[in-house]
Amino acid sequence: MQDFLIQTQHLRYSYGRQEILKGLDLQIPKGSIYGFLGPNGAGKTTTIRLLLGLLHPTGGEIKVFGKRLQQNRLEVLRQVGALIETPSLYKHLTARENLEVMRRLQGIEKNRVEEVLEIVRLSADADRLVKHYSLGMCQRLGIALALLPNPELLILDEPTNGLDPSGIREMRELLKDLNQQHGKTIFLSSHLLSEIEKTVTHLSIIHEGKVAFEGAIQELQQVAIHANVLEVEVTNTLMAKEVLLNNGLAVESLGGDWLRVAVQNKSESAALNQLLVEQGVSVTGLVFAQQSLEELFLSMTETSPTVGSISSSSPILV
């Protein structure tokens, strides 16, 4: 059986009357880089705060390292390093002093400070005041703080937030390095699939407090491959629509003379073209389109999903 470092079962959280998490089931495999994806306000930060014991769940259960968090908070947190939203840095201190504060608090060996500075490549700037740091450096220092107790599990809330493309790439390399060279399991949240799809091995997508997808990144790609559409330009959209609907295909108007039809695979386009022509509709354009991961993500997290969810077996129209 696969080893899970974090497991949540029916995790619920309400703030006042507002239900933020509506029964979240997550399973984070050991050794993975697990992307936790969702639009702003979906409940990502709330989930992370629950995982760190900063908030108490309204219902459900959290197990970290197989132990219930609420009863074993200190023991569990000793093996967890966290970066929550903007890193908590004392700007009037140097990077080394910031690390020293956290080192003293947790009673960690002295030489660990140099080690983590090395890992996040801040050794050369360790004695500069943090107020003179760039955003990317602050973010890396935040990771260094999380790494200080040499934890098995890293929980990072939007580590690439606000970074420029080169900063994002640096962060991506750092995370891969931590995962592969140092054997850390990494749980990271993001609201942009494109930022993390090259990094993560597993991911979940949450939407309005529920899990819309969870699995390995390849599984999501599988879903995306199946979500194919054909965009057709015709002279008479009304007639074309009727023909297609009569043949049991899902159709959507795109505006202008364009229609979008759900298909199983590319070879269907020829048959569809023939069908339309036979019924007297002239086809002036035909485009086969595959849904990108990003579109798939968007379709999963739109406030009112249009036609069906990804899990339904029938072809999907967006």
Partner 1 sequence: MELAYSFLVRGFSAEALKIKRTWALWLSLLAPLSVVSMNFLVFFFRGDKLLKLGEDPWPLWAGNNFNITGQLLLPLFLTLITALVNGAEHNSHGWKQLYALPLPKWSVFLNKYLLQLGLVLLSSITFILGLFAAGYLLGVVRPDLGFLEFHHLQSVIFGALRIFIGSLFVFTAQFYISFRFKSIAMSIGLGILFTVAFLIGARWEHIGYYPYSWPAFSAMAFYAKQTSLFIPEMWYSLAGSIVLLLIGIWDSARRQIL
Residues that bind partner 1 (CB under 8 A): 15, 49, 52-56, 73-75, 77-78, 82, 84-93, 97, 100-102, 104-107, 145, 149
Cα–Cα distance measured from residue 66 to residue 40, given in angstroms and rounded to the nearest whole number: 29
CB of 87 to partner 1, least distance (A): 8
- Which is nearer to partner 1, 155 or 261 (by Cβ)? 155
- Which is nearer to partner 1, 5 or 212 (by Cβ)? 5
CB of 310 to partner 1, least distance (A): 32
- Which is nearer to partner 1, 108 or 283 (by Cβ)? 108
Which residue is associated with the tokens 């880089």? Answer: 33
- Which is nearer to partner 1, 132 or 198 (by Cβ)? 132
Taking the mean position of all CA atoms in its chain, how far away is CA 225?
A: 19
- Which is nearer to partner 1, 76 or 227 (by Cβ)? 76
CB of 119 to partner 1, least distance (A): 19
Contacts of residue 257, Cβ cutoff 8 Å, sequence gap at least 6: 233, 234, 235, 237, 284
CB of 29 to partner 1, least distance (A): 23
Q: Concatenated DSSP letters for 239-291?
A: HHHHHHHHTT--EEEEETTEEEEEESSTTHHHHHHHHHHHTTPPEEEEEEEE-
Do 51 and 13 contact (CB within 8 A), yes or no?
Answer: no
DSSP 8-state secondary structure symbol assigned to residue 232:
E
CB of 148 to partner 1, least distance (A): 10
